[in-house]
Structure 1
C-alpha cells in the first residue's frame, strides 16, 4: 500500500495513492474519509470511478505557499471507446493558514456532455451522540445531530449552492469540541448532498461539482479549515472572516452611509399586500370549485386608505410591499407587466398611492419578476428563453400566469431598465423593489448562441439588476438571502427556518441561525408573526434574530391593535441591534427550546419556545 505523508506545522496530510483516500490530522485530531467512498463522475446514466482511468499518475506538489499531492487521471473508456478526457486532483496544505485545499482541474474535456463529479467525498462521521453534528446552510440554517431520529436527505433545489439550499456556500461538522468548515470557493457550479437515515448514528455530507455548459470547464476549489475547541458559532466566524476577505460583508452601517433610506427602513412594519389576482385555468393554483376566487381586484385607493389607517393608529414607520400592481395581475405575463392595473385605478391611482406614501413618510415598494417568461407575454420570443446544453427548453405550468419557461438572465437588466424607465416617467416614487426568486432559485445557464451564459454570469446579471436599483436610490430585495447578493440588497421577503416552510413534515434537524451569525448586521430580515398552536409563537424567532416584523393591514379593531403591539416589541429591539453583529447563539437546554442570542453591543435575547416567553438583557 502506497501512502504518502506531508507534515506542515499543525497539519499532517496523508494520501493513499491506491485507494485515493485522504486523511487529515490536525493537532492530533484525525479526520478520515469514509472507507466506502470511491471518487466518481457521471456521463449520462453511466457511473465512472476515478480508479477506472487507464492511466493514473501521482506527483508531489511544492510551491512557495504550500505543499501537497497532485494526481492525473486519463485514458477513460466511455461508451465503449477511449475518451480524450483527462483531469487532475490537487490536495495541498497552505503554509500561512494551515487550510487544506481540494482542487479539481480539467486538462482535456470529453466529447460527451459531462455529468456531476463527486470528489472529495464524505468524512467518516459515526457516533450516536448529539455532540456530533452537521451544519448546513439550507435556509437560515440547520443542525443535524448524529442521533437525530428523522431521515435527512431531501434538500431544497437538490442541495445546489447559491440557492435556498445554501444561503452560504459552506458546510461543517463538529464532534464534541473539534470540527471543520468546508468552504466551496467556486460555488456557482456546485452542490452538496446529505445522508442521515432515520434512527441512524451517522451523517454523511460532501460536495459535488456540476458541469458548466456540459463540461468541467475550469478549476473547482474547496478549502477546509480544521478547528479545536469549537462549535457552530466558530465555524460561522471563520466564514464571516472569509466573507470580509471576498468583499461580501458590506454592513447596514456602510449601506446607510450611502443611502439614508436604510435607516428609514430599519424598524418599519412590513405590510405585504396586493392589487390584482388572476389565476389562469392552466395554473396548478386554479380553484375549479370556486372559480370566482381566481380573479380579484383591490383598488389602489383601498390600499391608500389602509395606509392612512395605520398612520392614525400611530405607526411612524411602514414599508408597503405591493404585489399584483401591473395590469396582468400577480405572476402573469412577465416581463411585460405594464401598465399599472387599469381596473384598480391605472397609472393615476398608483401615482396617488405613491404620493400619499411620501406624504405619510412611509416607504413604497413593489414586486417585480425577471425570471419567469410567460408564453402569453406580449414580447415573448423563444429565442431569448433559457436553453439547456442539450438544446431543450424548460416548460411548465404552475404559477398563476399559466404556461411559461425561463428568460435568459442576460435579458433581465434590459427588461428591468425598460419597465422602470416607464415607472419613473409616470411619476411613481419608489423606495423599494423586490425582484422575485433571484436569491432563492438556483443559478441558470444558457447555451443559446446569442446569449450564452454560465451560472456565474447569471449571478452577475441578477446582481446588476439589484445594482441598477441601488443607483436609483431604491432599496433592492428578493425572496430570500444569498450571500453573493449581500453587497447589493438591504432586505428580503424572509430568511426562514426549514420548519416554517414545511411545518407538516418531519423536522430535518434543529433550526440554528447560521446566516445571522455571519450577516446579521448586513441585511434586515423580516419574520412572520403568526401564533401557531403546534409551532409556537413565531414572534420569538423575530426577537431572537433581531429582525423586522410583518403586519397584516387587512385586520381591524382589537385584532389590529394586538398585532401592532407585537410589532412594536420587535421593532424596539430591531432599532437597537439591526446594525450589530450576532456574536453568539446558544441552546440552553437539551430540548433546544430555550435559546439565547448575544449581540455585539452586549444585548442578550433569551427565548423559551415551550413557555412562549422572552427576556432582553
Structure 2
C-alpha cells in the first residue's frame, strides 16, 4: 500500500488529551479504501493540526475523512456537538446522522465531551467537505469528509483542532477562538473601526432594513425557456410612487431612519431577465419616477439601495451568452432551479465581474443609489468552481472573484450586502440578510439552535439570523424573541411571500400595501420593530462574547461592553438579578 504523508502538530491540553490517535481514511473512486492511524504526542501549542500537502494527495480519490479519537463521545455522556450554522446537539441518540454541506456558513465545528473540548478550523480545502455528525450504536463522531470525486486536489488538506480549557471550553469559547483567528490574520475588521470612514455603514448599523418587492413574473414559471413572445406578464405590486407613499407614512408614524432596498425595480421585475437589468421597469414608473423616489428618500433622511443579481442568468436576457456560464466537469452548462425568468444558469464569478458587475454598480450609482448595496445569492452558497477552459476556477479562486464583486460595491456604492453568512468574503461583507438560510426546525440529533455564527461575527458583520425572522413583529412570539436573542438587525419585507405554490421560506405572514389601510397597518408593525431596535441598536458594533442557558427555556447573551440580554421562552415569568422577564419577552441590562 502506498504511503501518504501526513504532517501533524499538536499541543498540550488541560482537558486530559495526553496523546491522540488520528484516523485518516482514503476512499478511491474504485471503492478501494486505505486507512492510516497516527499517534500524536501533544506539544505546547494547544492545536492538533492535520496537514496533508496537495502534492501528497493521491490521484483517483473519492473522499478523505479525518477523525481524532477525542472527536467522539458515548450516548448519555455529558457534552454536545456544534455545527457551523448553530445546530447544537447533546449525546442522546443511539443512532442517527446530521450532515452539512452547502448550508455551512463557516468552515468550523466543535465538540465538548468529558475528555476534551475543541473547535476545528478547516483551513485547507475549506469549501469541499461535508461535515458528518453520526451516532452509531451509541457512539458519536464528528468529522469532515473531503470530497474529490476523482478530480485532482487543488489545495492542501488542513484541519486545525484547537483544544480548549477552563472558561474557553464551551461553544462561546469555540466561537471566540475562531473570531480571534479571523481578526489576527486580518480576514475581517470590526465594525467599530470600519464605520469611522464609512458613513453609509454607520447609518445602516443603527437602522432597520426595509425591502420592497415591486414586481415579479409567476414563480414557479409556466415557461422554462422564455422568449420575448412567450414571456409571462409581470405582476405590479408596488410602483415607485407607492414606495414614496410608504415613506410618507414612515414619517407620520415616527420612523426616521431606515435603509430601503428596492427589489424587482429592474426589467420585468425580480429575477426577470438577469443579467439584463435596464431599462428601469416602465410598469413601475420608469427611470424618471425611480430617480424622483431616490431623491425623495434621501431628502427625508433615508438610505436607499437596490437589489441585483450577478450569479444567475436567463436565456431571455438580451445579454445571454453561454460563454459566461459555469461549465460542469463534462462541459455542460451549470443550471439551477426554474424561477421568474425561466431556467436559471449559474454565471462564472470571474466572468460576472469582468462582463457585468463593474458597469452595473456604476449605473446604479448614476441613478443615485447609495448604501449597503444588495447582491443576491453570492454569500448564501459555497464558492463555485468553473470548468470552462477559457475561465477555469477552483473554489478558492471563485471565492476571490466574489470578494472582488463585494469590494466593488463598497467602493462605488458605499457598502455591500448579500443573502447569506458564508464567511469566505467576511472582510468585504457588511450585511447578511440571513446568517443561516437553514431555519430552526426539529431534527432528532439537534436540541436547538444557538447563535454560533453571531458569537463569531456580531460586531463585524450586520445580520438577521434566519429567513423566518423576516417581518418579525408579525410572527409568533418565539420567532420574535429569537431575533433579539441572536442580536439581529431587523429586516422587513413587503411581499416577502410571493411564490404561487407555497414554499414561503420567509414565512406566510406578510406585509402588503394594496390599499391605504394595509399600508398604515404594515408601517405600524415596522414601527414596533423600529422602537425595539432603537433601544438596542448601540449593541450592533459590540462583539457577542457569551451565550448560555440560564434555566430551562431562558437564555442569556452577553456583549463585549458588558450588556446582557435575557430571553425568556417560558409561558411564565422569570426573575433574573431581581428583574422580572415577562413570558416570551426579553430584558436588556446595560453595562
| Mapping for residues 536-551 of structure 1, pairs under 5 Å | 536-551=477-492
Check conservation: 2:99, 2:130, Cα contact below 8 A.
no
Does the residue aligned with 2:175 lie in a helix, a strand or coil? helix
Instruction: Give the aligned partner of residue 47 of structure 2.
Output: 99
For residues 149 and 213 of structure 1, do their structure 2 counterparts lie closer, same or farther at Cα, with a shift above 3 Å needed? Answer: closer
Structure-1 separation of matches of 2:209 and 2:184: 33
Unmatched segments (≥5 aa) in structure 2: 1-6, 226-230, 495-511, 513-517, 571-582
Answering whether residue 559 of structure 2 is matched by residue 599 of structure 1, we say: yes
Structure-2 separation of matches of 1:143 and 1:260: 37
- Higher alpha-carbon Rg: 1
Work out which of the residue numbers 81, 84, 88 in structure 2 matches 1:143. Answer: 88
For residues 206 and 506 of structure 1, do their structure 2 counterparts lie closer, same or farther at Cα, with a shift above 3 Å needed? Answer: closer
Does the residue aligned with 1:115 lie in a helix, a strand or coil? strand
For residues 496 and 455 of structure 1, do their structure 2 counterparts lie closer, same or farther at Cα, with a shift above 3 Å needed? Answer: closer
Check conservation: 1:91, 1:102, Cα contact below 8 A.
no
Check conservation: 1:236, 1:517, Cα contact below 8 A.
yes
Structure-1 separation of matches of 2:122 and 2:415: 29
Does the residue aligned with 2:389 lie in a helix, a strand or coil? coil
Shift of 1:455: 0.7
| Mapping for residues 353-432 of structure 1, pairs under 5 Å | 353-414=293-354, 415-425=356-366, 427-432=367-372
Give per-residue Cα distances to partners, 1:257-308, cap 9 Å, x unaligned: 1211122112212211112111231369xxxxxx999733431111111112
For residues 203 and 307 of structure 1, do their structure 2 counterparts lie closer, same or farther at Cα, with a shift above 3 Å needed? Answer: farther
Question: TM-score, normalised to structure 2's length?
Answer: 0.82
Instruction: Give the aligned partner of residue 85 of structure 1.
Output: none
Does the residue aligned with 1:548 lie in a helix, a strand or coil? coil
| Mapping for residues 226-265 of structure 1, pairs under 5 Å | 226-229=163-166, 230-265=169-204
Question: TM-score, normalised to structure 1's length?
Answer: 0.79
For residues 449 and 519 of structure 1, do their structure 2 counterparts lie closer, same or farther at Cα, with a shift above 3 Å needed? Answer: same
Instruction: Give the aligned partner of residue 58 of structure 1.
Output: none
Instruction: Give the aligned partner of residue 28 of structure 1.
Output: 16
Work out which of the residue numbers 569, 576, 584 in structure 1 matches 2:546. Answer: 584
For residues 322 and 391 of structure 1, do their structure 2 counterparts lie closer, same or farther at Cα, with a shift above 3 Å needed? Answer: same
Check conservation: 2:372, 2:415, Cα contact below 8 A.
yes
Shift of 1:324: 0.5
For residues 448 and 606 of structure 1, do their structure 2 counterparts lie closer, same or farther at Cα, with a shift above 3 Å needed? Answer: same
Shift of 1:607: 0.5
Instruction: Give the aligned partner of residue 42 of structure 1.
Output: 28
Check conservation: 1:90, 1:102, Cα contact below 8 A.
no
Check conservation: 2:375, 2:417, Cα contact below 8 A.
yes
Does the residue aligned with 1:517 lie in a helix, a strand or coil? helix
Does the residue aligned with 1:181 lie in a helix, a strand or coil? strand
Shift of 1:506: 6.3
For residues 293 and 135 of structure 1, do their structure 2 counterparts lie closer, same or farther at Cα, with a shift above 3 Å needed? Answer: farther
Structure-2 separation of matches of 1:182 and 1:552: 37
Structure-2 separation of matches of 1:388 and 1:122: 37
Check conservation: 1:152, 1:508, Cα contact below 8 A.
no
Give per-residue Cα distances to partners, 1:474-517, cap 9 Å, x unaligned: 211000112232211211212248444xx477684421111111
For residues 108 and 569 of structure 1, do their structure 2 counterparts lie closer, same or farther at Cα, with a shift above 3 Å needed? Answer: closer
Structure-1 separation of matches of 2:138 and 2:390: 51
Structure-1 separation of matches of 2:260 and 2:67: 47
Instruction: Give the aligned partner of residue 282 of structure 2.
Output: 342
Shift of 1:544: 2.1
Instruction: Give the aligned partner of residue 75 of structure 1.
Output: none
Instruction: Give the aligned partner of residue 472 of structure 2.
Output: 530
Check conservation: 1:91, 1:103, Cα contact below 8 A.
no
For residues 408 and 516 of structure 1, do their structure 2 counterparts lie closer, same or farther at Cα, with a shift above 3 Å needed? Answer: same
For residues 468 and 135 of structure 1, do their structure 2 counterparts lie closer, same or farther at Cα, with a shift above 3 Å needed? Answer: same
**Count, aligned residues:** 535
Q: What is the Cα-based RMSD across aligned positions, in Å?
A: 3.2
Does the residue aligned with 2:111 lie in a helix, a strand or coil? strand
Answering whether residue 25 of structure 2 is matched by residue 115 of structure 1, we say: no
Work out which of the residue numbers 402, 409, 432 in structure 2 matches 1:469. Answer: 409
Shift of 1:206: 0.9
Unmatched segments (≥5 aa) in structure 1: 1-5, 12-24, 52-70, 72-88, 285-290
Shift of 1:187: 4.1
Does the residue aligned with 2:410 lie in a helix, a strand or coil? helix
